[in-house]
Chains A and B, each alone.
Chain A
Amino acid sequence: NAGVMQNPRHLVRRRGQEARLRCSPMKGHSHVYWYRQLPEEGLKFMVYLQKENIIDESGMPKERFSAEFPKEGPSILRIQQVVRGDSAAYFCASSLNQETGGEAFFGQGTRLTVV
């Protein structure tokens, strides 16, 4: 049973381009969470999705950022017109259920660098 898979591991984009980050949850997990980690800072929650539904996007910037988790395929975090401040590590986690005791398993992250 493979863990949470994220790709690409590293992504370089020029200012104004689009970045697409992919996350395949662990087999059987239907809950996906995206977090952002800036240098020297803790992970910050961005968005929580279940299949075809956004449950909580309270941590996501209102503009340029979007996320989806289609019925088939990985979850996608999309950043349009990237700026230097978007440079960070983006982590995806998945869990079997949404119960408070449920453990979230993290992927290896995608490191986005905007030049």
Chain B
Amino acid sequence: KNQVEQSPQSLIILEGKNCTLQCNYTVSPFSNLRWYKQDTGRGPVSLTIMTFSENTKSNGRYTATLDADTKQSSLHITASQLSDSASYICVVSGTGGGNKLTFGTGTQLKVEL
């Protein structure tokens, strides 16, 4: 069964600190892995998309890594801001389109002063 597991389930950090979120998956076949940010009451917004051959990809203060051999990914957030408070969702795509996405349950991040 295709699964995406994320850890930690929730995280509280102080503004300005860094943090790393983890994602393990068992989706097969594998096409790409995506990280989305979902603010409360809003739809998910894409942060990065990584294919099998990519090990790391950055988008501003967000850096995603992918180890396709161990089926693990991480999302590192640098110099966190209050606006980073959101749910971060790891999504793995099998061959196909949006109908082949498997979503993790997300890591709820809260950034405090």
Residues of A within 8 A of B (CB): 4, 6, 31, 33, 35, 40-45, 47-48, 55-56, 58-59, 91, 93, 95, 97-109, 111
A95, B97: Cβ atoms closer than 8 Å: yes
Complex interface: chain B residues within 8 A of A106 (CB): 36, 43-45
Shortest CB-to-CB span from A52 to chain B, Å, is 17
A59 to B103, CA, bound (A): 13
Interface residues of B (CB under 8 A from A): 4, 31-32, 34, 36, 41-46, 49, 51, 89, 93-101, 103-106
Once the chains are docked, how many angstroms separate the CA of A95 from the CA of B103? Answer: 17
From known contacts A42-B106, A98-B96, infer whether A104 and B43 are also in contact, taking CB-CB under 8 Å.
no
Residues of chain A within 8 A (CB-CB) of B103 are 35, 42-44
Q: Closest Cβ of chain A: how far from B107's Cβ, in Å? A: 11
